[in-house]
A and B are shown apart, each in its own frame.
Chain A
């Protein structure tokens, strides 16, 4: 590991100030950033540790019933504490990586990174979540424009993510057997005003919604409703683990299974 300066702010204000410096990088659970540094894919001079900010940790229920997750909350905590209120979100968090990764990785880090195969971006998009930062609120639909790209500005820390709780929801993740990331993952959520279908791992454009499926399922919430639909393999990722055709096929299969699992 190369030499870097580690800053441990005690308050959010200190953290924002520290991130104002040049070559300063926010550090959440380190589950992506630390391997990145070890591979020398990046070498920021200063790491600003957000893990000490108690005000960014925890799961609570807002007045409107939304599940609110602090930006620095580890996946294992979400898995435990959101289970009673938003089971699909809890199950998703509980199946990220492995126990060690879940004890360190945070929702803020996951969303700020927006890995095209990550699970949380699918949950956020599938739930129409609101990402609250130190500066503003950003709707999930506006937050994830592309692969490894978000709407965040420099040094803009995610303080909280608010998930409206749907009538029913489920996440189906087909694991890439080596990394256990989602080869394809589909998050389906049924709200009073319609169904949302968010897909991760499949598209070269990153996490996105499957509009045709949403329209069909909003009419009838059953696996049969999407039987006649198909996806274009054109924009799908092709790699060692899945061809574009295979991924396109899996999106449809997993969407149907998520609808059935949602009950």
Chain B
């Protein structure tokens, strides 16, 4: 039938257009609920406030995984983006509303050297119960788990070094911001 629809030989062209198209909407019952745990180890240079990520690991449950390579890639990209948000990227304006971080000479994008080798794992696969494939979303997880992991690691390092007054630093944790927080 499809062949007849697309190669319209002997076909009632006056009554029916060639081709065969159908549109359907899938309205899921609910959001999917992926879950995970992220771990980050950092080193802090107390004299300059510079943060270096020593190790990073991400474990996520994405339900049934259809294409593992793509899922890995999604998490890799999310982690790079999250590290950039935690340590580097900012959109800053001066008191007149002028954008200060208007080019990549001032807006620091994470480069390969800013992102450590990191382990990702999605071997725990608890199928989603309310869609036919049992799949869960994986595109946002990397960028969700990494900023808190990095920031909490830095705060932990500062607390261990005796800076008990520091419980939070606004992102990005640039050397300037970390050092300024350390001055009390």
Contacts and interface: CB of A to CB of B under 8 A. Distances in A.
Given A177-B108, A240-B100, A253 B176 contact: no
Interface string B39-51: 0000000011010
A246 B152 CA distance: 23
Given A241-B174, A243-B180, A246-B176, A178 B100 contact: no
Contacts of A242: 176
Contacts of B169: none
Contacts of A250: 48
A178 B176 contact: no
A115 to B, nearest CB: 12
B155 interface: no
B92 A178 contact: no
B105 interface: yes
A253 B106 contact: no
A249 interface: yes
A174 interface: yes
A246 B183 CA distance: 10
Interface residues of B, number: 20
Contact of A253 (B48, B104, B107, B174): B48
A178 B179 contact: no
A177 B174 contact: yes
A255 to B, nearest CB: 12
Interface in A174-201: 174, 177-179
Interface in B164-184: 174-176, 179-180
B108 A178 contact: yes
A102 to B, nearest CB: 16
Nearest to B110: A177
Highest count of chain A CB atoms <10 Å: which of B106, B114, B180: B106
B106 to A, nearest CB: 5
B42 to A, nearest CB: 15
Contact of A178 (B48, B50, B104, B175): B104
Interface of A: 174, 177-179, 239-243, 246, 249-250, 253
21 contacts: A174-B48, A174-B50, A177-B108, A177-B114, A177-B174, A178-B88, A178-B101, A178-B104, A178-B105, A178-B106, A178-B108, A178-B109, A179-B106, A240-B92, A240-B100, A240-B101, A241-B174, A243-B176, A246-B180, A250-B48, A253-B48
